[in-house]
Structure 1
């Protein structure tokens, strides 16, 4: 991150793109977060937006999105631009490939058309922003999937983050295959869930918390994950992790991996040594004997499902309740994907590019003149 003089001002919002109806000052008080930018970082936001505008970029150009991609690339503007452009391409060229050939079985994954699998690309790419409007509107996919794979959002932690729960060890891959739940369809479903976390869940949580909430609190239950047959689960986790890291950066607030066996501890010690220290500090690996007490330090007992050591027992089960501020009239608002697409259309026009160094120099000149 480039060194620069600190600025006490909050993040500068752009009225063209920043139509937020929730708090925009982050609870994270470190530099680089909304409301806590220095002069160079603020200039880098402008620079990134102007570079993208000059190329006719039609993706997301709001300030909070640009900041997340900049943080993910240590405020390297060129690297953040590349990441954002590639993510936008992914959003518009998602493809489901269902491979039946025995020679290619197990290679099922979300692809882009550029991959040209088997030199026979699928007929029609999926645009995520269109899919999120129509995917599983009646909830039948989620209800059926939950019989074999438990994953759900449920209420908030003590910092106001939405809580996400997933039982990795309980995934019945053989049953999923019989029911035609391919990896691709499950990953597509997870991508839609990410979109719904971004809106309406995070905005509703921000309104309730009174500060910007950009991240989730994730609980992954590893009970039942076997070292003897790691293939299916690790392949799926690798696929979903790649998708989330590449396209939803800076969304992890806290992660608890619970019911971890001794063999996993050795793997974690090796893996954590290669992680960015900030990322590693967000991940807590816990055994079956100590996870409940740790979860309750972060998640109120009345919000934590009883199955994970809390006191919540939603009618019909926490897994399908989708309980949280995003369901409460006081905090919820229509999500972007619930509105008419024409309402969100913004014409991107080229603008003059101002570098971080130039902006910092200009700030210095202004102070001298004063």
Structure 2
């Protein structure tokens, strides 16, 4: 686990980027100055208003700054492209009106929120790759491309299957993260939660399956990198097969160096001890040595401490399927969870529960419904580079084809079964 140990403290360009550094409450003077300069620059360009409430909260602006190494003009370029992309694809309408069944079909293909948090209060997600066999992915993609699951008008260039994926990113930024932010039983309660921790289980996945998933996962990663920066923190890769070190060579090119530095590739003997460093045993699924009853595809198994502060309404005793987000009520003293989306062609807008506002808002602007997030973009690439990556998949595939041939030859050679670290 020597490599994993080396990843615990990460510094890029003199900046310590380990949480909570670079987040509200833990900004250096230089970073504070960058945030203010970014606001002024965006205001001049007509992309930001100070309010109150501000058009975009500080934690959203900081995600773009962190992603672009605190260079204001670079952050502006990504922010501008993202705002235009969101408007062109009506992301707000998409999330409000997406068919609940279509949303759930998409959810089952991507990381699932366990309903729990890591030791820092960051939401914990589980992703088991083995469920994404070629037939399942092909059926999903054909279904997604043949129907528009929401009332959103799109730019025509972003595939429907990816737009559905972005509804899940909206759920992360507008439901899971705000809920975790209001929980004060964490080490840095004055810092809003804008990250996610992920357990990625790659056990029982063959080389052929990795290969078949390449285009599916690369396209999703490319666009997410461009438009949802900096909400990915730790990634724990578990169950890596012997050939994973070679596969990892092309997978890690989808991420920037900072994100790669946060990835832990664990051997079987390291799983329990490493996870427990970051996650309390009661919040680790039993399959990985913890105490939590949680299987992939399950609805979130809510943290008892979260349950204690929720007041259910309208007959609800748990969060329903489909999209939801939080809105201020009672003069801002409480947040209400609103279930949205469509069922049977009828749009829903139902209050599920309320929660008292506990997060201190001093110096923090009000959350905006246009907040966005996810894996950080390549530090040495522009947003346009990332978007063009989707168009250049054929080139990437050619390169990867050559790699596959090398891997196939290597796989025929006798080797000791080892785990990539």
Q: 1:298 to 1:3 in 2, by over 3 A?
A: closer
Quote the Cα distance in structure 2 between the aligned partners of 1:324 and 1:243: 30
Q: Higher relative contact order at CA 8 Å, sep ≥6: structure 1 or structure 2?
A: 2
Quote the Cα distance in structure 2 between the aligned partners of 1:186 and 1:292: 35
Q: 1:254 to 1:37 in 2, by over 3 A?
A: same
Matched, 1:328 2:307: yes
Q: Determine the structure 2 residue equivalent to 1:152.
A: 112
Quote the Cα distance in structure 2 between the aligned partners of 1:150 and 1:78: 33
Quote the Cα distance in structure 1 between the aligned partners of 2:18 and 2:243: 36
Deviations along 1:336-362, whole A, 9 cap, x unmatched?
59499xx9999xxxxxxxxxxxxxxxx
Quote the Cα distance in structure 1 between the aligned partners of 2:251 and 2:104: 34
Q: Determine the structure 2 residue equivalent to 1:70.
A: 65
Q: Find 1:128's aligned residue among 61, 79, 91.
A: 91
Q: 1:166 to 1:334 in 2, by over 3 A?
A: closer
| 3-state secondary structure, aligned to 1:244 | helix
Can you give the 5+ residue segments of structure 2 that lack an aligned partner in the other structure?
1-11, 50-54, 146-158, 312-323, 328-336, 341-348, 350-365, 370-421
| 3-state secondary structure, aligned to 1:219 | strand
Does the 8 Å contact 1:153/1:165 carry over to 2?
yes
Quote the Cα distance in structure 1 between the aligned partners of 2:144 and 2:368: 34
Q: Find 2:44's aligned residue among 23, 34, 54.
A: 54
Deviations along 1:312-356, whole A, 9 cap, x unmatched?
225xx563322346963626995259499xx9999xxxxxxxxxx
Root mean square deviation of aligned Cα: 3.7
TM-score normalised to the size of structure 1? 0.65
Matched, 1:195 2:185: no
TM-score normalised to the size of structure 2? 0.58
| 3-state secondary structure, aligned to 2:207 | coil
Q: Determine the structure 1 residue equivalent to 2:85.
A: 90
Matched, 1:174 2:164: no
Deviation at 1:218, TM superposition (A): 0.7
Can you give the 5+ residue segments of structure 1 that lack an aligned partner in the other structure?
5-25, 95-126, 347-370
Quote the Cα distance in structure 1 between the aligned partners of 2:23 and 2:368: 27
Q: 1:178 to 1:205 in 2, by over 3 A?
A: closer
Q: Determine the structure 2 residue equivalent to 1:13.
A: none
Does the 8 Å contact 2:112/2:125 carry over to 1?
yes
Aligned length: 285
Q: How do 1:1-370 residues align onto structure 2 when only pairs under 5 Å count?
A: 28-30=19-21, 32-57=22-47, 61-94=56-89, 127-137=90-100, 140-141=101-102, 143-144=104-105, 149=109, 151-154=111-114, 155-178=116-139, 180-182=142-144, 184-208=159-183, 209=186, 210-212=189-191, 213-268=193-248, 278-313=258-293, 319-324=297-302, 328=307, 330=309, 335-336=326-327, 338=338
| 3-state secondary structure, aligned to 1:57 | coil
Moved segments of 4+, more than 6 Å = 1-4, 269-275, 343-346
Deviations along 1:105-131, whole A, 9 cap, x unmatched?
xxxxxxxxxxxxxxxxxxxxxx11111
Does the 8 Å contact 1:27/1:211 carry over to 2?
no
Does the 8 Å contact 2:56/2:367 carry over to 1?
no
